[in-house]
A and B are shown apart, each in its own frame.
Chain A
Amino acid sequence: MTASSHLRRHWRAASDTQINLALGNARASVSAFSTATAEHGSLIQNWIAAREVLEFEHYPPDDLVDVRRGSQFYYHSHRDGDQEHGHVHLFWHATATGHRRYLKPGKPRWNRTEPTHLFAISLDARGLPVGLFTVNLWVTDGHWFDAATTMACVDRFAMGEIEGYEHACNWLTGFVRLYRPLINELLVRRDRRMARRSDLAKALQDRNLEVLSSTPIDWIADMDALESESVRRGM
């Protein structure tokens, strides 16, 4: 594979400040990934903690939740084929209008709705991210937002350092920020696909529609492309 043409175009047109920001996120994410792999064997090994991986089970078992930032994720595996071993589902705790949903101490985390799904990251058996995808509402439940509102949630997604998973949390936070342009494109494609359906409410529950948009990624090639862009600018 090669670097994403979408990302290359985005970085070519970006300001020096934006490139610096992307480099910062990239370095943080790569460093956290490298440390997690050295300490635990891989991101996946960190989450499964020597357990056998069972289809549909969540790893870690209760998900990782940053209550202060309203962010949540977990890893699981249930799809056959290609490069994917499993995937990370990312959620953000939003109200029906897309604002931050604050959780009250001692109260149940959710009453009428579940956290809203943002997108998912496919990992190979070594824990390397190899793809991104979006899913239909019935797959995860929660609120359904258009691409712009979902991106506002993505921009607020951040995982503080949860004990035992510090590097995984840092990897994910940096990775989401780094891949923002591609995530946005993925969500726009998701919306375009759903816009072709005459009845959105029905389409959101259509069991024949599961993955709505997806893209393979080559993280190593993307990092080369970003560093080349910074070198080209003499940064």
Chain B
Amino acid sequence: MNSMSSTLAKALAMAVVTTAALGGCSMMCRACNGNKCGAKSSMQKCGACKAKCGACAAKQ
């Protein structure tokens, strides 16, 4: 085995397996412009998500 793949294999053998994501807010309401994967700034513009659907509020 070559050196880089060997390093990667060793790292992966030690890696923590993260559990699958739990359900979150997928409302994509108009406040976010339906922009589901935007950078953080677009999500923070108005904060209307919390007020509008309550889905976010429940987990905060």
Q: Report whether chain A binds chain B.
A: yes
Chain A residues in contact with chain B, CB under 8 A? 26-27, 30-31, 33-34, 37-38, 41-42, 44-45, 48, 52-58, 61-63, 72, 74, 76-78, 85-86, 89, 91, 109-110, 114-115, 117, 120, 125-128, 135, 138-142, 207, 219-221, 223-224, 226-228
| Structural contact, A54 and B59, CB atoms closer than 8 A | yes
B20–A42 touching, CB < 8 Å: no
Bound-state CA distance A52–B36 (Å) is 20
19 residue pairs A–B, Cβ–Cβ below 8 Å: A30-B7, A33-B11, A34-B11, A37-B15, A41-B15, A53-B20, A53-B22, A54-B21, A55-B21, A58-B43, A114-B41, A115-B39, A117-B37, A126-B17, A128-B12, A139-B36, A220-B8, A223-B2, A224-B5
Q: Does B30 contact A (CB under 8 A)?
A: no
Q: Label chain B's interface by main secondary structure.
A: loop
**Quick one: which of B11, B37, B59 has the most chain A CB within 10 A?**
B37
A44 to B2, alpha carbons, bound, how many Å? 26
A30 touches B18 (CB 8 A): no
B14 close to chain A: CB less than 8 A: yes
Q: Are A26 and B42 in contact (CB under 8 A)?
A: no
A-B contact count (CB 8 A): 136
CB–CB A141/B18 < 8 A: no
- A residues in contact with B9, CB < 8 Å: 220
| Cα–Cα distance between A140 and B11 once the two chains are bound (Å) | 32
Q: How far is the CA of A89 from the CA of B39 in the complex (A)?
A: 8
